[in-house]
Structure 1
């Protein structure tokens, strides 16, 4: 197997670290066991921190043979990217699920491709639900059962 070498600036390396951290967080945050392939790449990327002079952002935990981000740096990344992503994906997923519910009520379970009429209706429902949620948030949601 051949090796790949990449040269990058300190800024590019720091961006790579952030991308690797966020990617490994996304892959592993919901699992009981870490994805070893992802962790191997994470470890490889973080292990070059001294070459980039990032001792203030990354440290080596000798007792467990793992490189870790500084706790404050990690928190900053989670606050900056994960919180925003979670907020956006929550609303996006909520609109999607409520639209699916309404579509099922209108057409029954849809198997296979939707008709053009169904696709147009779906878009209309998504827009309506999105508008209602934007105006009132979850406080105006109700369940009539």
Structure 2
């Protein structure tokens, strides 16, 4: 299989390092064993850190034969991107799950594919729940016992 060569500016390389780190973290964060294909790509990208001028952000562990991001740089990326993503996806998933619950209460168990009526109802419910959560946060959520 032929190799692919990329020419990147230093800024583009830095963004590639960030994207590869974040993507690899996302893929591997929920697994007991690392996805070696992602790890191989990560290693290939990080191994060019000197050429990309990132000596202050990437370290090489000779004994292990791997490259890693500097702890402070990694923390900055996690704080900047992962925290924001987690916050957004939490609210998005909460709205989705609450609307599914409400639809099930209205229509009974839902099939794999929603009808047009169910889709319209779902959108209205999601808007309503989203608006309510924006106004009150989770303080108005309650669970029946």
Bin the TM-score by the shorter chain: over 0.9
Partner residue of 1:13?
A: 13
- Structure 1 stretch 33-42 or stretch 135-144: which is displaced more? 135-144
Partner residue of 1:119?
A: 119
Does 2:72 correspond to 1:86?
Answer: no
1:58-107 Cα deviation digits (max 9, x unpaired)? 01011111100000000000000000000000000000000000000100
Partner residue of 2:70?
A: 70
Q: CA deviation at 1:113?
A: 2.5
Partner residue of 1:4?
A: 4
Question: Scaled by the length of structure 2, what TM-score is found?
Answer: 0.98
Q: Which has the higher helix share?
A: 1
Say what the alpha-carbon RMSD is for the aligned residues: 0.7
1:40-59 alignment to 2 at 5 Å? 40-59=40-59
Alpha-carbon distance between aligned partners in 2 of 1:52 and 1:136, rounded to the nearest angstrom = 47
Q: Which runs of 5+ in 2 are unaligned?
A: none
User: Aligned with 1:63: secondary structure?
Assistant: coil
User: Aligned with 1:54: secondary structure?
Assistant: coil
1:117-141 Cα deviation digits (max 9, x unpaired)? 1111111100010011111101110
Runs of 4+ in 1 over 2 A off after TM superposition: none
Question: Scaled by the length of structure 1, what TM-score is found?
Answer: 0.98
1:89-100 alignment to 2 at 5 Å? 89-100=89-100
